[in-house]
Amino acid sequence: MPITELNHYLLVSSDLERSKTFYCNVLGMAVADRPNFGFPGYWLKIDDQVCVHLASQNHDEIRDRYLLKNHPAGTNGSGSIDHIAFLAKNPKAMHQRMKDQGVEAEFRSLPESKLFQMFLKDPDDVTIELNFFGEVIDENEWRTWAM
């Protein structure tokens, strides 16, 4: 099976610093290194495993474009969860599986992190992120998959 385990969830927080403090001080997580995505946020880890991503509800066009949706202020409860991420293997086979089921995906490559990502929507508009660590796939290659 191409999906191997749950990787992280992203919470869109009404108060980024308050959420960071809660996860660190109450749950014992620590702030992890985070790539510069062009919008504020934190990655939080338990030991060496990053498991919670935080982003702010404050209006941010880069964040909305990156997360594939707008998060209005006042969102709370499980509506604050933006996406669920899984670790996965064999991106080309996974893409073919999605194509066979008529599911579209957005691709993102972060070669400096040796990470290739696919983003798709479930039937209830929840974003699913698939992380293929150790995969360096350039844009020219994955663009040919859609053909």
Residues in the chain: 147
Catalogue all structural domains in the chain, each as residue range(s) with its CATH number.
3-145 (3.10.180.10)
- 51-100 pLDDT per residue, tens: 999 998 888 899 888 888 887 776 777 778 888 898 998 898 888 888 88
- Closest to 107 measured CA to CA, from 79, 64, 136: 136
pLDDT at 123 (0 to 100): 65
Q: What predicted TM-score, i.e. pTM, was given to this entire model?
A: 0.71
pLDDT at 94 (0 to 100): 86
Q: Which residue has the tokens 């974003």?
A: 127
Give all strands (DSSP E) within the chain, no chain letters: 3-13, 30-32, 41-46, 49-56, 81-88, 106-110, 115-121, 127-133
